[in-house]
Every structure is written in structure tokens, then in C-alpha cells.
Amino acid sequence: MIQKNEAQLATLSIDIQAIRVNGKRMSLAAFKQLKVGSYFDEKKPNCKIWGMVKYKLSKDDDGEWVVYSLDGTLYRRETPMDEWDSHQVFKTEDGDYRVDGEDMPIYYWTNAYWEKQSDRNHYGTWRRLKEEQREIIRREKELHEVYDKKLKEAGLEVRRKDYRKAKELPHLFIAV
């Protein structure tokens, strides 16, 4: 049991940040109208991260949003970022991917011989292929699986870091 002489009152103060639009607090309806942005926009030098809003907009989202401005426009994006956006972090200017210094040509995702043959690769067609064609298909599939695994693992780490970073942002109040 806690005795009265052991307890005390302390005054705490907290700062609540709210987004204001034209002098008025941003409402949930206005928040929903923000454009949905993506992760790689944040790399631009004129991008400013404002904070995090916790509000579930639909049954499908996690309810955690990062609000940022870019080129004079306010955006929101879900956190953690989705798998597609996490892969874009590794995309190079020539359209390929680079993970841990290793180039992974986009060829293996879009133009692979085995993928082009997929509609025709039923059992009868496979039997009619020459052994060297089958070997090319096998090697390309194996390489694709290696690259895909590396990209997924690297993307997962990016998503984890993104989530930790978002958790450290100031929370913004949205009027309901």
C-alpha cells in the first residue's frame, strides 16, 4: 500500500503539434485529401519531413502516416513503406538494381528467356526444347531466385529502418 507522504504531484508539460491550413487546424477530411507520396521523394533536397500522424483511414492500412512537403505540396505516405517502394531504393539510373555493390540487371525481372517462354512451357513444349535451351532456362531461373532473395532481404531491412525512423518523428494532431 502506498502512503500519502510517499506520493507527490508533479506538473508536466507537453507540446502538441498540429498542422494548420490557412490558419485552421487540419481536419481528417483535409488529411485524406493529401496526395499519397512515396519513399524516394524524400531523398530530394527540397523535401521536409513534418512528422507522423496516427490515424487508420481504412481497414487495410496500418494507420501510421508520414507527412512531408516537396516542391510546395504536402504529401502523406504510409509507414512502413511497401515492398515495391523499398525495392526502388536500390534502383539505379539505368533501371537495374544494385544491392551491396552487386549489380542485378533488370533483365532478370523483365526480359528473361524463361519468363517469355512461361506461357508455352507446358510439358510438351519443354520436351521439344533442346537440352542447351533447357539449361539456359534453368540457369536464368536460379539467378533470378538469387537476385530476388537478395533484393527482398535488403528491402526488408530498408522497411525496418524506415519504420524506426518514422517512430522517432514528432506526432501531429489531426482534428477529427
The label of the residue with cell 527540397 reads: 46
Check if the beta carbon of residue 100 is closer than 8 Å to that of residue 150: yes
Q: Is 26 exposed, middle or buried (0-12, 13-18, 19+ CB in 10 A)?
A: buried
What local confidence, expressed as pLDDT, does residue 62 receive?
Answer: 82
128: phi then psi, degrees, rounded to nearest 5: -80, -15
N- to C-terminal Cα separation, the chain: 41
Q: How many CA atoms lie within 13 A of 142 on its CB side?
A: 6
pLDDT in tens, the chain (176 residues): 777 787 888 887 777 788 888 888 888 888 999 999 887 777 788 888 999 998 888 888 888 999 998 888 899 999 888 888 888 888 888 778 888 888 877 655 555 544 555 545 555 566 677 888 778 777 877 887 888 888 899 999 999 999 999 899 998 888 76
Q: How many whole angstroms separate alpha carbon 24 and alpha carbon 147?
A: 50
DSSP label of 175: B
Kindly report the pTM of this predicted structure. Answer: 0.69
Eight-state DSSP code of residue 41: G
Structural domain spans, the chain: 12-79, 88-163
